[in-house]
Copies of this chain bind each other. A is one copy, B any other.
Amino acid sequence: MPADVTIYAVADLAGVGIATVSRVINGSPQVSPQTRGRVRQAIADLGYRPNRAACHLAGGRTRQARIAVLLPFFSAHFYFSVTKALAHELAGSPADLALYDIRDRSDKNRVLDRLLAERACDGLVLVGCSIGDQRCDQLERLGLPAVLIDRRHPRLPWVTIDNARGGRLMAEHLRTCGARRPGIIAGPDRAVALADRAAALDATLGGAPRETAAALESAAGAVATRELLERHPDLDALACVNDALAVGALEALRSIGRRVPDEVQVIGFDDQPFMDFIGLTTIRQPMATFGHWAGRSILTMITRPGQRPDDRLLPIHLVPRHTTRTPQEHSP
């Protein structure tokens, strides 16, 4: 960042007082054109940029709240829904959103360290990731409120869905629709919500074969599906921990000529856009509500310290479509 040029340096160079420099910067009409010109020149020569903290402090502006959102750029739709809802929830308030991409744990810690050390925010929204006890202590010391989206937490308020139940719903639906030999397409482990689904799937389906996709996109889902099917050609159903992987599975099945749902059934998770058109059976989760709740909660925590918002476990729904068969009432 630019060197530490202060208003004094500018004033010196222009041969005026700092008050005058300040006036020029703030567009006061009370400055003669020549002086204004000299000051402008000096500012440009020095590459001077006002120190925002000092401006705020001296100017006594309205107190601005900054909400830092830490989230992994996993899925476009999840990311979009959550941040959009957050932004809308905060739109009326004098708070704004700062976005941080968190690729892994060290990323997260680096960002948090900086954020806390520099007091760069007044509230924290953690999406799909969590923090330990020490961090919590640190936050408490700083009086920094934090909420979690898509994860539960013993000490911090959270909003999420029951991913284990989601996994069970998927498994049961597949069974009900007559699946005998289901397989699982899981996602990278660092996505905890998806890992929970996979674990529940595993448990409910009793050790079904499983393949882990390298990323949360359809191409990776297609690769994983092909590998799984190579090892287990007799699979008649695929439970995918999210919709993107499920579309990848459909892609792979189409390319090797297996009919869906007659030969292989497929179920996803999320119900993101276009799944309707594609006809994917999936579990719908209310992503926007995550953002709304988080926005409202962090705002109350900031304005009324000490008050803790209620945790929320949001409802999920099975959305049966054409990639699974009609449920059999009395399947064994």
Contact = CB atoms under 8 A, between A and B. Distances in A.
Nearest to A90: B101
A214 interface: no
B122 A49 contact: yes
A51 interface: yes
A207 interface: no
Given A27-B141, A56-B53, A120 B64 contact: yes
Interface stretch (A81-89, A149-157, A227-235): A81-89
B79 A1 contact: no
Interface stretch (A91-99, A168-176, A189-197, A198-206): A91-99
Interface stretch (A128-136, A300-308, A310-318): A300-308
A73 interface: yes
A87 to B, nearest CB: 4
A48 to B, nearest CB: 8
Contacts of A4: 63
A128 to B, nearest CB: 15
A142 B278 CA distance: 50
Contact of A305 (B44, B54, B304): B44
Given A44-B305, A84-B101, A247-B277, 11 more contacts: A2-B303, A4-B63, A50-B119, A52-B120, A53-B56, A61-B117, A76-B80, A79-B80, A80-B80, A88-B101, A217-B273
14 contacts: A1-B63, A1-B94, A48-B143, A49-B305, A50-B119, A54-B57, A55-B119, A66-B98, A73-B80, A80-B80, A97-B100, A218-B274, A247-B274, A251-B277
